Amino acid sequence: YNLDLSAGAGTPTYTASGIGISIANDMLIGGTAPTTVTFDTNDTVLNIDGDVTMASNGTFIASGARRLLFCVE
């Protein structure tokens, strides 16, 4: 499945929780309204098997305690 983190209004911050999030396809951050996604608060593991699209008003904050690794095919 895809994960679309795109606010319709306001300026929300989505905070990842739990031990990990696995996305089988694509992730989109931003869109109609400014959107922030943070994986730093809980240092949640993130796995994305597809593409990541970051809109011009999207912000991604990675974990400060875990490595950020990109695999490009």
**Which pLDDT score is estimated for 67?**
79
- Distance from CA of residue 66 to its chain's centroid? 15
What span, in angstroms and rounded, lies between the C-alpha atoms of 10 and 12? 6
Convert the pLDDT of each residue in 38-72 to its tens digit.
999 999 999 999 999 999 999 999 998 887 777 76
**Which pLDDT score is estimated for 73?**
67
Average pLDDT over residues 21-47: 94
Average pLDDT over residues 19-43: 94
pTM of the full predicted structure? 0.86
**Which pLDDT score is estimated for 64?**
87
Closest listed residue to residue 48, CA positions, set 7, 8, 14, 5: 5
